[in-house]
Amino acid sequence: MAAKQFTSAEWKAIRKTLDKDPEKFGLPKRVYGSVTLGSFNIRKLGSFRNRNQTTWEFLAHVCEHFDLLALQEILDDLSGLRRLMSLLGPDFGLVISDTTGAFPGRRGLAERLGFIYNRRLVERTEIATDITYDRTEILKTLARNRDTIRPVMNRYGKYLESVKAWEDSGRAGPKPTALTKAKLRMPVFLTFIRQPFCAGFRIRGHPGTEPYEFMAVDAHLNYGDPKHDPKQEFYALMNWIVARAGQKGKTYHPNFILLGDLNMDFDDPEKDKERLEKDIKELNAITQEGVSVNFPFLDIHPGQSEVFRTNARLSQTYDQIGLFSWDKRLPAYKDNETIMSKNPTGPDYGVFNFVKLFSEALKVPESQWEGLIERFHHKVSDHMPLWLRLPLP
């Protein structure tokens, strides 16, 4: 039996609690002289019929607090996204990718990636593109790893038979049968399951100052299996961005900001941070002098006792913001311990913890959060939005 959506009375209590103290729950307020970037995986953002009007109004209220917001899990049906944009109004623009993750007309979870931006502070520049590894790079990978790949390819026949049966089952009627598509785990990275999306943006500041100009990268990376897939997509994307950012003078904008659901395995911050810090330090070492790589959400915010969590069960930090920058005005890795400035314009970062909001507004004790999550994780989302505030130039 499907969980019941929040009632109008419950939404009224939620909005009243939020309006009383938005900062308590991490919703970034609008501060003159600053700009707020963020990322929000809104679970299966498809038909407007899948959420009631009060839910759409809540999502719009959240989104309007961001000046540039990367969205993941936008489905092929854009009616829900259009409903969201209509509630945001003409001050907000939109750019989205085509579907990725499934071949057109075949079974699979095809998704779009997109950016909502506040036209009053943020403007699009000309470029918008997918991030791909070209055929030559894929062929080189196949050649270099042929001995490792060969045993996997020997199982290809049964894999194709299984995939065909799985696809055919979806043609038998409106609901596919219970067949599960076989998995063929490649031991090396070949290409992304969902191509990351990249668009150029400019943020103008005070008169006479240089604007922030950067390529924003929106990604929804493969969840994978930690035992078989050591985050191939994550490292492939990092290497691509680092290599491209290192080509200063050739890139459209030399700075890159990554915003997305990276599905990072970060359930044990003390252990995982050591591994990821090592990787980030290596990335910093291989970039040309002057390029900074920074993932602030891997660190404990100075105002918090533990790392921010971004999933509804508060156990993981799947979503991340990463900066790959030549611009010395953007926070670097070494700045994270003191990033929370006394200046209200930032830099600063955080997460809008609507799990805590719903719990407090509806008077649900932490011991009963699992039932609460069941009520909203499909109709609101199972991810919470994260944000980075920057002072305007």
263-277: pLDDT as tens digits: 987 777 777 777 777
Residue 158 located in a structural domain? yes
Same domain, 226 and 324: yes
* 122 and 225 part of one domain: yes
117 inside domain? yes
Segment 7-43, tens digit of pLDDT:
999 999 999 999 999 999 999 999 999 999 999 999 9
| Per-residue pLDDT at 385 exceeds 70 | yes
Residues 93 and 173 in one domain: no
Residue 145 pLDDT > 80, yes or no?
Answer: yes
CA distances from 145 to 189, 190, 193, 257 (A): 10, 11, 20, 31
pLDDT band at 1 (very low <50, low <70, confident <90, very high): very low
Give the residue among 66, 69, 42 at the shortest CA–CA distance from 56.
42
Same domain, 104 and 145: no
Of 155, 188, 221, at which residue does a domain stop? Answer: 188
pLDDT for the residue 266: 76
Residue 227 has pLDDT above 60, yes or no: no
Q: Are residues 248 and 372 in the same domain?
A: yes
Given 150, 166, 188, the domain boundary residue is: 188
Range of the domain at 173: 134-188
In this structure, the answer to whether residues 70 and 164 fall within a common structural domain is: no
3 belongs to a structural domain: no
Q: Give the pTM.
A: 0.92
Strands 292-294 and 112-118: unpaired
Is the domain of 31 the same as that of 92?
A: yes
Provide the pLDDT confidence category of residue 182 given band limits of 50, 70 and 90. low
Q: How far is CA 312 from CA 50, 169, 188, 259, 292, in A?
A: 19, 33, 31, 18, 31
- Average predicted confidence (pLDDT) for the chain: 89
Looking at the structure, tell me whether residues 250 and 348 fall in a common domain.
Answer: yes
Residues 260 and 379 in one domain: yes
- Is residue 2 situated within a structural domain? no
**Structure-model confidence comparison of residues 120 and 243, the more confident one:** 120
Question: Residue 169 — pLDDT band, cuts 50, 70, 90?
Answer: confident
Residue 168 sits in the same domain as residue 300: no
CATH number at residue 287: 3.60.10.10
Residue 236 lies in a domain: yes
Each residue's pLDDT tens digit, 357-371: 999 999 999 999 999
- 68 plus 208 within the same structural domain: yes
β 256-261/212-220 pair status: parallel
User: Is 302 within a domain?
Assistant: yes
Distance CA 27, CA 19 (A): 10
Residue with tokens 């890159």: 256
Specify the pLDDT at position 93. 98
- Please check whether residue 1 lies inside any domain of the structure: no
Higher pLDDT, 239 or 166: 239
* Residues 340, 287 within the same domain: yes
Count how many domains the chain has.
2
What is the b/e burial string over 260-294, where b = at least 16 CB atoms within 10 angstroms of the residue's CB? bbbbbbbeebeebbeebeeebeebbeebeeebbbb
